[in-house]
């Protein structure tokens, strides 16, 4: 289970290697994604809060990266944060998310990126529920929801 010191260490010292890599040209990403999806995932944009029904969706299933299909989160780790974006406590595996500092260093704001294709997903914060204390605040448009098998 990842905790805030682990996230800070990864952001500072480098991320775990992914199981696979997906690399595409800018033109290929633009062809695959809508303008809003491209803005959020490839240009590190942010969707409007409360703009997606995913925020209030608490059904079993998995959430994968919209861009490459890598499984990122299990719905069992999803919780209502009240922020307007879907929030999770832990990724399905430690190496599916990459971390990097975003903004002034004194804020220690940490961006979350798909470790497979470098898609911007959102941010992680140390104010989530126990036991891990993490809140992965994700852009819903960067995720693809699949029902449980």
- Hey, which residues are catalytic here? 137
Nearest-angstrom CA–CA distance, 54 and 83: 13
Return the percent helix, strand and coil in the chain, to nearest 5.
25, 25, 50
- Counting Cβ atoms within 10 Å, is residue 106 exposed (0-12), middle (13-18) or buried (19+)? exposed
The torsion angles phi and psi of 27, rounded to 5 degrees, stand at -65, -40
Sorted by sequence, the CB contacts under 8 Å of residue 80 that are 6+ apart come out as 56, 58, 87
Check if the beta carbon of residue 49 is closer than 8 Å to that of residue 83. Answer: yes
Which pair of tokens denotes residue 88?
Answer: 């999770």
């Amino acid at each position: 289970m990842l905790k805030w010191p682990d996230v800070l260490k990864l952001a500072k010292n480098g991320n775990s290697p992914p199981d696979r890599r997906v690399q595409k040209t800018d033109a290929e990403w633009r062809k695959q994604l809508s303008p809003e999806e491209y803005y959020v995932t490839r240009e590190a944009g942010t969707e409007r809060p409360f703009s997606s029904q995913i925020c209030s969706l608490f059904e079993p299933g998995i959430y994968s990266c919209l861009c490459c299909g890598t499984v990122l989160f299990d719905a069992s780790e999803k919780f209502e944060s009240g922020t307007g974006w879907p929030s999770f406590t832990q990724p399905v595996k430690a190496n599916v998310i990459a971390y990097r500092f975003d903004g002034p260093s004194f804020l220690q704001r940490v961006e979350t990126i798909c470790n497979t294709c470098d898609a911007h997903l959102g941010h992680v914060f140390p104010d989530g529920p126990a036991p891990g204390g993490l809140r992965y605040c994700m852009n819903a448009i960067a995720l693809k929801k699949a029902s449980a098998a």
